[in-house]
Each structure stands twice: as C-alpha cells, then as structure tokens.
Amino acid sequence: MKPKIFITRQIPTHVMNQLKEVCDVSIWNEEDTPVPREILEEKIVDIDGLYCLLTDTIDEELLQKAKNLKVISNMAVGFNNIDVDAATKRGIIVTNTPGVLTETTADLTFALLMATARRITEASDFLRSGKWSSWSPMLLTGQDIYNSTMGIIGLGGIGKALAKRAQGFNMNVLYHNRSRKLDSEQELGLEYCSLEDLLKRSDYVCIMTPYTPETKNMIRDEHFKIMKDTSILINTARGGIVNENDLYYALKDGEIWAAGLDVFEQEPVDFNHPLLTLPNVVTLPHIGSASIGTRTKMAEVVAENMLQALNGEIPVNIVNKEIVSNKSPISYFN
Ligand code: DGY
C-alpha cells in the first residue's frame, strides 16, 4: 500500500506527479484558499504525510487526532505555524525549506527598503491620481540609501544575503544576533552590536529573525523611542515580532520616519488596520519568496523532504533532529 499524503494547496504539476507516483495523494483543491480546519481535522486522522503551508495551523489539538502521521513538510523556512514540540513528542518529523528562498527574500527586502525610503508607491499613486502639476524641489522627498547605516536583527542566511546587497550601496552594516558570527563579520565587514546600539545608530532597521516566543513583540514602544526620527523599519520576517500598535503610534507621532511591511501579525491583514491608513507605510501581502523560480523550488524541496522521511531517511531539512536519534529507519514504501 502506498503511503497516504495530504496537500493543503495547489502545487506545481511536476511535483504533484512525482508525489503521485509513489504516494496515495489527496489535495485541498478549491480555488487558492487555505484548507478549512474541519477538512484538515478529517484528513489528519489517517495520513502518513502532510504537505502544508504557513497558513495552516498545525497545533497539539490537531496532532492528537493523527494516528499514522510520520512527517509534516512545511512549504516555508519559518515554521511558527507548527507546534514542533507536540510533533516531536509524537515522533513526527517536521521539515522546512531553507536555502532555496534566501536570495529571493533578500531581493524583496531590499526592494521594500528602497520603495519605502524613496516613497515609490506614494509617488506612483500621486501621479496616477492627477496631482502632479510641476517638478518641485521638495516634492515627495525621501531618505538616502547610499552611504547610510543598515541594522540587521537576526543574521541567518537571509540576513547575510541582505548584507551583501547593502555592500553594493556602500552601507555600513550593523547586526544583532543571539550569537556573534565572526566569519560573517570578516567576510562582509559587519559590526556586531547590542540591540539598543543597533536601534540608535541605524537608518534602516531590518527584521530578519525567526518568530519564536522569545522574539514575539521584540520591537515595541521603548525601542521606537530610541530609534532616529529619520529611521525606517523593514519587516519581511513575521509580523508578530513587532508590536503593531506601538509601531502605529511611532509612525504617527514621528518617532520613526517610515516602515516597509511584508508581514503582519494577522494575515491577511484587516483592510481597516490602522497601519494601512498611514502614508508613511509601504505594505505588501507576504511575498518575500514569491518569484516563480523560488516558489517552484520550494515545492520541490517540500516533496523531497516528504519522500525522504517516508523512505526512512533523515530529510535534508529536518527541523526536529532530536527525534531521529531515537528512531530506527523504516521505509513506508514497498
Ligand atoms: C517563509 O518561508 O517563512 C516565508 O515567510 C514565505 O516564503
């Protein structure tokens, strides 16, 4: 019997075909919408593998219903949508998709930084709404990027890729991370500093850290107060790392100059969210890794991780490595 897997969204045909060759596949195939919780609860009972997205909440309550689940393969580098401890407790492997999306997400982060600094969306809307009457010295003036200081909070792969882009703009790059990365300091000329120092000195504060209980609301009122009033906050990591209410007031009261946000605490963000009313906020619908090539590679990596786990191998991108040491390898293919 083929292992049973459930896929929570449409995926590229070649990846689907690859999975169908060796697995009994079912897919939530409504128009591009997240799978309803009740369907997930029904499916989870007897599947061996789950191919899920960051829009799917895989919590303890759901996992309690899973009788055969061996692997949860998440199509994202972030896995804050999954209760990894609950999965580990049940011997379920969790995997993610690091690496393949690094450069694409760094590109988008730099694009958002530039759009926010130079007021690109505001300027485009201004022109299209017929308000442009003449060239004017102070019309839609923004902040300089070249020669400025970038502060990166969380120096993982994407943070480093962002630092490389900053080098091209002759930026001075500071970083704050749980541990110092001496190699990267040398390779990229980065300066390690405390969070407080980074916030005080940076023109661009870029959030690149994973979302965990420790980083929830990590940037809040007291931090905006010490940032420069000309500074710009860029968040392409997870919305909940920044306290959105405090950010709103910091932007409104001029404690910081602008923000570029690809992520929100609740997604999709409510259309009436106060942050969307501010002209000095550039917003995107969580598209950091959204290039055709990268999203295709992510789907391929999810499938590869899934098949490795079901074949009794240690998946390349296992998140909860601790469980494999207690397991003897079993293949679920026959
Ligand atoms: C991730 O992978 O965690 C991104 O947020 C979506 O690509």
Q: Using the atom order of ligand 1, give the atom closest to the CA of residue 289.
A: 7
Query: How far is CA 35 from each of CA 28, 170, 315, 329, rounded to the nearest angstrom?
Result: 6, 45, 25, 31
The contacts of residue 168 (CB under 8 Å, 6+ apart) are none
pLDDT tens for 235-283 read: 999 999 999 999 999 999 999 999 999 999 999 999 999 999 999 999 9
Q: Name the amino acid, one letter, at 144.
A: D
pLDDT tens for 209-245 read: 999 999 999 999 999 999 999 999 999 999 999 999 9
Mean pLDDT of 34-60: 98
pLDDT tens for 298-313 read: 999 999 999 999 999 9
Q: What's the pTM value of the predicted model, to 2 decimals?
A: 0.95
Q: Using the atom order of ligand 1, give the atom closest to the CA of residue 236.
A: 5
What integer pLDDT is reported at residue 328 of this predicted model?
A: 67
User: Are domains 4-98+292-326 and 102-283 of this chain identical in fold?
Assistant: yes
Asked if 66 and 43 touch (Cβ cutoff 8 Å), the reply is no
Active-site residues, by number, are: 238, 267, 286
Q: Using the atom order of ligand 1, give the atom closest to the CA of residue 96.
A: 2
pLDDT tens for 141-186 read: 999 999 999 999 999 999 999 999 999 999 999 999 999 999 999 9
CATH topology for 4-98+292-326 is Rossmann fold (3.40.50)
Q: Could you state, in order of their start, the residue ranges of all structural domains in the chain? A: 4-98+292-326, 102-283
Residue with more model confidence, 331 or 213: 213
CA distance 324 to 321: 6
Q: How far is the centre of ligand 1, averaged over its atoms, from the C-alpha of 1 (Å)?
A: 34
Nearest of 59, 82, 66 to residue 6 by alpha carbon: 66
Q: Percentage of residues in the chain with pLDDT exceeding 70?
A: 99
What residue's CA is closest to ligand 1, atom 2? Answer: 76
pLDDT tens for 95-117 read: 999 999 999 999 999 999 999 99
Mean pLDDT of the chain: 97
Query: Does the domain made of 102-283 have the CATH classification 3.40.50.300?
Result: no
Ligand 1: lining residues by beta carbon, under 6 Å: 54, 76-78, 101, 288-289
What integer pLDDT is reported at residue 30 of this predicted model?
A: 84
Q: How far is the centre of ligand 1, averaged over its atoms, from the C-alpha of 243 (Å)?
A: 20
